[in-house]
Amino acid sequence: MNINIISAKSILTKSNLPVSDYSANPYTGCAHACKYCYASFMKRFTNHQDEWGSFVDVKTWPCIKHTEKYSGKEIFLSSVTDPYQPAEEIHKRTRYLLEQLQGSGARLSIATKSDLVLRDIDLIKTFPNARVSWSINTLDEEFRSEMDNAVSIERRLSAMKAFHDAGIRTTCFISPIFPGITDVPAIIERAMNICNLVWLENLNLRGEYRKRILDWIHEKHPELDSLYHEIYSCRERTYWYELDELIRQFTDEHSLPYVRNDDSMTREFNAPPVVVNYFFHEEITR
């Protein structure tokens, strides 16, 4: 792993994401090396020649001034990297940022594939309405290990339970959903008692990783070649409509709220989670 220390002018940037006001990326690059990582496009702006997943830039930045201006604002960690990837255990840049923001009144939304976030649970708990999400798109450890270098699914679920038990809102982010491979109902059923929210996002294939994923499908699951051709070459959407209906039936059976493209619904902490469908949200309506 090629690790470099770099200086950044600032760490908080205005966010265009619907789930946050600001985003913060304490690192550039990610050792988790997910085969489907959309953030690999960042190489165009960072001038890295190394393969995505083989380098990490550790950021330093000036002390954040006037943190009170972030009161009531939601800060997303992180939009293009994992704030709790292995480098964080040594460099502690995410923890440093949290320490700078503590007492500001800012709200936190953290997305990770790691259980290192457990180290900061007491610190995170001091932020109002904090929420932490873990990406879990399979319960099959063999498939997980083929797709990323992050911790096991069991470790992610254990971390989710620890946060939920501590009274911190948690999200199970089922993303990306691999057609014919990801068992969405099984994951929801496994996580529904330890999370407040379930996000669903379909696999999008674009950029340099499109060929990598399709080649992997052809090698490991040739029986799915025609399905992936229909979805990603012919832009056939039947699979997603059918999955949408399957999830609706499942959530009805388990008395789970099911909505699309909107996670603003909140319930009592110990109520069953809200399931939010984000795939083809601009075209699928109830």
Q: Concatenated DSSP letters for 267-283?
A: --TTSPPEEEE-TTTTT
Q: Quick one: pLDDT at residue 46? A: 65
Pairwise CA distance, residues 159 & 84, whole Å: 12
Q: What's the angle, vertex CA 93, arms to CA 116 and CA 168, rounded to 5?
A: 45
Beta strands in 2-89, from DSSP E residues, in sequence order: 2-7, 12-14, 22-24, 27-28, 55-60, 74-77
Q: Quick one: pLDDT at residue 283? A: 46
Distance (Å) of CA 239 to CA 48, 51, 250:
37, 32, 16
**How many CA atoms within 13 Å lie on the side-chain side of 237?**
10
Q: Of how many residues is the chain composed?
A: 286
Distance (Å) of CA 79 to CA 42, 186, 224:
11, 27, 31
pTM of the model: 0.93
CB-CB contact of 216 with 35 (8 Å): yes
Pairwise CA distance, residues 273 & 198, whole Å: 7
Q: Quick one: pLDDT at residue 284? A: 40
Q: Quick one: pLDDT at residue 264? A: 79
- Please give the single-letter amino acid code of residue 99: E
Q: In the chain, which residues have pLDDT < 70?
A: 39-49, 280-286
In order, the DSSP letters of 67-88 are GGGGTT-EEEE-SSS-TTSTHH
Q: Quick one: pLDDT at residue 44? A: 60
Q: Quick one: pLDDT at residue 41? A: 63
Q: Say which residue the tokens 């930045």 belong to.
A: 61
Q: Quick one: pLDDT at residue 45? A: 60
Distance (Å) of CA 32 to CA 1, 55, 59:
11, 10, 18
